[in-house]
């Protein structure tokens, strides 16, 4: 089998890249080691930057997003019970959209299925070959049979633990990482959200977040140590802890209920450099990870594949390699700015094991500066709604 672009991974980044290329007449095959149902079962956040919304519209998969997604004009930050709203629309004329990553993936899957483009699910033992030349290939096993896919380019969209980054020759890749000494314990509950917009809360007991998936389904988080186990947290214990960390009005307004999903996610910052190796490109979580505090993970992935799609379309339409040559530098410039913002949000909102009284005063001063300075508030709004690329 042969195609122009082999895409490894059928998550939102791989599917979006496939859709953008398909719309431009560039043939792709997507290989995914999991089943379609498994991919759709992954629970992920879904705060979409305005640029991501525009990119999904460009891909032709925005109809349900606009019908069911929740447009947020701003966000609320709370520090030891003092709550302040930042109005993004008023500050910079931009917004964000709350629409679950699972739903984005579903929309992209359905569009690809409807078009008849090839996706191979449950592709086992995927291996990448000869991407340092002009005839790369991908080998895999499906239903016990070995297959080889010849292609012009390979796009590694298969996540942090995928085969793509692991296939880069030793010594060719530099990585940067920070592992945070805590995680987020999150629950999903079929109750209306406590607020129309997200509430990020700092408390001496730890961080908390009130968010949502829909007008009837809410997602809540509290910061916990990495030693904590999900089994130790009953719903009753979770709700009690959440109430302690948010302001009084929010605590009184919470509509509690039995959790339908509960998990602990560790926090990590990670960047790999460069992101191009001959005819292999890394994108999304294969290239970088951000803590969820700044809501940048899916948005960075979308930016990556948006830039890569433009570069590949340019190559086939104009026989120009300018876009693919500049891909890594262009993407990494935005990645590091998003890493900075996510690190900053994490730093001011969480309680660190080594945070002393001076450190908490600095966190409080940062919050007060945000509240009192329009310039600082505009910077928050600009970064949260998405920097240009």
The one catalytic residue in 136, 221, 292, 327 is 292
Question: For the chain, what is the mean pLDDT?
Answer: 97
The one catalytic residue in 202, 203, 288, 296 is 296
| Cα first-last separation, the chain | 35
Strands 259-273 and 288-289, sheet pairing: antiparallel
Residue 152 has pLDDT above 80, yes or no: yes
Strands 124-129 and 47-48, sheet pairing: unpaired
Q: How many CB atoms lie under 10 A from the CB of residue 34? A: 16
- In eight-state DSSP terms, residue 169 is P
Residue 44 pLDDT grade (very low, low, confident, very high; cuts 50, 70, 90): confident
The CATH number given to 5-74+92-176+268-346 is 3.50.50.60
The one catalytic residue in 12, 72, 99, 291 is 72
Examine the residue annotation and report whether 292 is marked as an active-site residue of this protein. yes
**Averaged pLDDT for residues 167-173:** 95
Look at residue 326 in the predicted model and tell me its pLDDT: 98
Say which residues have a Cβ less than 8 Å from residue 67's Cβ, sequence separation at least 6.
none
Examine the residue annotation and report whether 316 is marked as an active-site residue of this protein. no
Examine the residue annotation and report whether 160 is marked as an active-site residue of this protein. no
- Kindly report the pTM of this predicted structure: 0.96
Examine the residue annotation and report whether 229 is marked as an active-site residue of this protein. no
Say which residues have a Cβ less than 8 Å from residue 366's Cβ, sequence separation at least 6.
348
Whether omega before 274 lies within 30 degrees of 0, making that bond cis, reads yes
Instruction: Give me the percent of the chain exceeding a pLDDT of 90.
Output: 98
**Averaged pLDDT for residues 179-188:** 97
Examine the residue annotation and report whether 180 is marked as an active-site residue of this protein. no
The one catalytic residue in 200, 220, 221, 327 is 200
- 224-277 per-position pLDDT tens digit: 999 999 999 999 999 999 999 999 999 999 999 999 999 999 999 999 999 999
Angle among Cα 104, 70, 221 to the nearest 5 degrees reads: 80
């Amino acid at each position: 089998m042969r195609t122009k672009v082999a895409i490894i991974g059928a998550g939102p980044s791989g599917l979006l890249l496939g859709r953008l290329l398909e719309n431009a007449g560039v043939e792709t095959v997507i290989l995914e080691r999991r089943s379609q149902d498994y991919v759709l079962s992954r629970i992920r956040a879904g705060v979409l930057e305005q640029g991501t919304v525009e990119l999904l519209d460009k891909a032709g998969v925005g109809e349900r997003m606009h019908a069911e997604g929740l447009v947020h004009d701003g966000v609320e930050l709370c520090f030891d019970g003092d709550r302040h709203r930042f109005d993004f629309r008023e500050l910079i004329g931009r917004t964000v959209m709350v629409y679950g990553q699972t739903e984005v993936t579903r929309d992209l899957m359905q569009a690809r299925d409807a078009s008849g483009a090839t996706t191979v699910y449950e592709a086992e033992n995927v291996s990448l070959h000869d991407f340092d030349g002009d005839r790369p290939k991908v080998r895999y096993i499906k239903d016990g049979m070995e297959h080889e896919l010849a292609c012009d380019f390979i796009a590694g969209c298969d996540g942090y633990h995928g085969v793509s980054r692991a296939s880069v020759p030793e010594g060719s890749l530099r990585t940067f990482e920070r592992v945070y000494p805590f995680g987020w314990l999150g629950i999903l509950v079929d109750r209306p959200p406590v607020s129309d917009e997200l509430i990020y809360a700092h408390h001496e007991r730890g961080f908390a977040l009130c968010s949502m998936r829909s007008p009837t389904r809410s997602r809540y988080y509290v910061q916990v140590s990495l030693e904590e186990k999900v089994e130790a947290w009953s719903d009753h214990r979770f709700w009690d802890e959440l109430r302690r960390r948010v302001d009084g009005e929010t605590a009184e307004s919470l509509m509690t209920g039995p959790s339908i999903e509960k998990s602990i996610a560790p926090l990590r910052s990670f960047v790999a450099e460069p992101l191009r190796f001959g005819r292999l490109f890394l994108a999304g979580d294969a290239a970088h990870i951000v803590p969820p505090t700044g809501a940048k993970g899916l948005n960075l992935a979308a930016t990556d594949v948006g830039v890569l799609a433009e570069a590949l379309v340019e190559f086939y339409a104009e026989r120009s390699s300018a876009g693919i040559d500049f891909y890594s530098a262009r993407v990494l410039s935005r990645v590091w700015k998003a890493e900075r913002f996510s690190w900053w949000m994490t730093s001011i909102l969480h309680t660190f094991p080594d945070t002393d009284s001076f450190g908490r005063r600095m966190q409080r001063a940062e919050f007060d500066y945000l509240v009192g300075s329009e310039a600082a508030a505009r910077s928050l709004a600009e970064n949260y709604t998405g920097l240009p690329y």
